[in-house]
Chains A and B, each alone.
Chain A
Amino acid sequence: NAGVTQTPKFQVLKTGQSMTLQCAQDMNHNSMYWYRQDPGMGLRLIYYSASEGTTDKGEVPNGYNVSRLNKREFSLRLESAAPSQTSVYFCASSDWAGAPRDADTQYFGPGTRLTVL
């Protein structure tokens, strides 16, 4: 069972470079999420997608864009990387379908460690 997969696992960028983090899930989940994890701050939501074709901003969306390519895939793009975007990035998915009490356990990928020099 692959669950949630992320590529790459590690990446080093120079300031101003762009890159796309890829995420895919094979659980037929409706919702997908991108978080960043910084020391002492826990995980913070960047963007989420409640269904194919929809995306919405989370707590820290500035400097990022997302694409929900299809039900399986949700990518995160850094257009012009900055040192402040050095972090560990997690993708997650859940079966949440939009109603308050829908099943909502989030399953996480293994993370991408990104360093921006």
Chain B
Amino acid sequence: AQTVTQSQPEMSVQEAETVTLSCTYDTSESDYYLFWYKQPPSRQMILVIRQEAYKQQNATENRFSVNFQKAAKSFSLKISDSQLGDAAMYFCAYRSVAGGTSYGKLTFGQGTILTVHP
């Protein structure tokens, strides 16, 4: 079974600065998807960014980018020019592509609470 670990329970950043959230995962599979989800105080889960393991190029989405290190099984999220609205809990998630009982299911990390200071 796959596991996802977020070792930073809490992080903080000054407005307009850059912050990086860490995520590592354990899998024996070579093909999979990785995601970052944002959960603001409203509790709504919002997809931030997605990475396909067979693509070496790191995904970017406006101010959000990832550093995907497949060999190290590391998938960090960089938020540039942080804004007050970025304050939320961020979850890293894994989805298998290899088949079997893991199809279509997301495995989440424990989450990192991000605080943005004005």
Q: Which residues of A contact B (CB under 8 A)?
A: 31, 33, 35, 40-45, 48, 50, 56, 58-59, 88, 90, 92, 94, 96, 98, 100-101, 104-108, 110-111
Contact = CB atoms under 8 A, between A and B. Distances in A.
B110 A45 contact: no
A10 to B, nearest CB: 11
B45 A92 contact: yes
Given A92-B45, A98-B103, A41 B110 contact: yes
Contacts, number: 60
Given A40-B110, A100-B31, A101-B97, A48 B47 contact: no
Contacts of A41: 110
Given A96-B103, A104-B33, 17 more contacts: A40-B110, A42-B4, A42-B108, A42-B109, A45-B105, A45-B106, A45-B107, A48-B104, A98-B103, A100-B97, A100-B99, A104-B95, A106-B45, A107-B47, A108-B44, A108-B46, A110-B43
A100 B43 CA distance: 29
30 contacts: A31-B104, A33-B105, A33-B106, A35-B108, A40-B110, A41-B110, A42-B6, A42-B108, A42-B109, A42-B111, A44-B108, A45-B105, A48-B104, A58-B105, A90-B45, A94-B104, A96-B104, A98-B104, A100-B31, A100-B97, A100-B99, A104-B104, A105-B47, A105-B50, A106-B45, A106-B47, A107-B47, A108-B45, A110-B43, A111-B44
A48 B105 contact: yes
A43 B108 contact: yes
B42 A42 contact: no
Q: Report the contact-size class of chain B (Cβ under 8 Å from the partner).
A: 20 to 34
B11 interface: no
B91 interface: yes
B113 to A, nearest CB: 11
B36 to A, nearest CB: 12
A100 to B, nearest CB: 4
B84 interface: no
A106 B50 contact: no
B104 A50 contact: yes
Interface in B6-22: 6, 9
